Structure 1
Amino acid sequence: MNNITIKNITEKANVNRVTFYAHFDDKYQLFDDMIYKTICKDIYEKAGKLQELDRNHIEILYTSIHAFLNTIVENCPYSYIKLFPLLRIKMIDVLKMHSDSKTIETEMKMDSFRSIMISSMLYEAAEISILKKSNLSQKELLKQLNNFIF
């Protein structure tokens, strides 16, 4: 990220610096916005139509997160470890927003704490799998995750 300059960004995007600064304070805010929108789009495309929190919903969310993190590893093989903490924060925000926007909270009487915990578990399980911090297969990890949640 240190090698990327506002000049690089504006030249590639064919916009001037004034336009850039009208939308973002700096390149870090641009990065945050891009990550947040990418995660939102991915989650809502795959899980947006589901109306209740069940094992299928958990599987779709987990698979989406896993695929997203895997893409980061493939595209940023030397810096993904530095990116994961930033992605974790954004991902949990998106997942919490996703569960808040559904009928899940009212149907399951899910409070904000539980919503955050489920979101955190989903992210952590995917990261554990990606980083190979467990000897469980992805399918077994998902089964354990569902057992924790339900």
Structure 2
Amino acid sequence: MGTKVRNIRMTQTKQSLINAFVNLVNEKDFEKITVADLTKGAQVNRATFYAHFNDKYELLDYIVDESASAVIENRTLGVVKFDKERIHELVLAVCDYHQQPNIQCRRSYLSLIPQLKDKMLVELKNYLSKSFDAIYTDEEKSFYVPIYANIILEAGYLWASGASSLDKETVAKKIATFILGDSSRVILQG
């Protein structure tokens, strides 16, 4: 079998497993989902599942990792720059990321939050580190990157969790201004 055909089948199988996971996590808690549930939902056998993933945690890791980088890529349009527009888009990316898992089972979503936040934090740090290349030394980057990444992550998460009554555009604008400054004072109220 040709490499191209094998790659297409692998991609289709992974997508089937991802779809099965998303459907299942809407019905029951993540901890109660089994590999048997996933293979049944994807209509593949166990050996096929294990050819792609070691366990359901690796599948979840794959899904979360792919979506974190994709949402940043979509929001920034691939432009890596440290400016208000990009900070604004990074906050919106975090908002989108936490809205993305359409998980009706609230306990399941709550159990996934630490993993979701960890993956997004890694992606934010990667983006910011690249955007700082022409601005800061390595020592300065190691100081500023985690600070800015955590501010952006927490702002988007607080909005997504309903802890803020502000709309996400306003949150993003205020955080971009907070990080990069402005001649007018930043007030975190509507």
Q: Indicate the TM-score class for this superposition, using the shorter chain for normalisation.
A: 0.7 to 0.9
Matched to 2:57, the amino acid is Y
* d(CA) in 1 for partners of 2:156, 2:105: 17
Equivalent residue number for residue 145 of structure 2? 115
Equivalent residue number for residue 24 of structure 1? 53
Structure 2 runs not aligned, ≥5 long: 1-29, 181-190
Equivalent residue number for residue 70 of structure 1? 99
Q: Are residues 1:105 and 2:135 paired? A: no
Aligned length: 147
TM-score (norm 1): 0.83
Q: 1:123-134 alignment to 2 at 5 Å?
A: 123-134=153-164
Q: 1:1-150 alignment to 2 at 5 Å?
A: 1-72=30-101, 74-76=102-104, 78-79=106-107, 80-100=109-129, 102=130, 104-109=131-136, 111-150=141-180
Matched to 1:126, the amino acid is G
Does the 8 Å contact 2:158/2:164 carry over to 1? yes
Identity percentage of aligned residues? 27
* d(CA) in 1 for partners of 2:54, 2:167: 42
1:37 Cα deviation after fit: 0.6
Kindly name which structure, 1 or 2, has the bigger radius of gyration based on alpha carbons. 2
Structure 1 runs not aligned, ≥5 long: none
CA RMSD of aligned residues (A): 2.1
Aligned structure 1 segments of 4 or more residues deviating by more than 6 angstroms: none
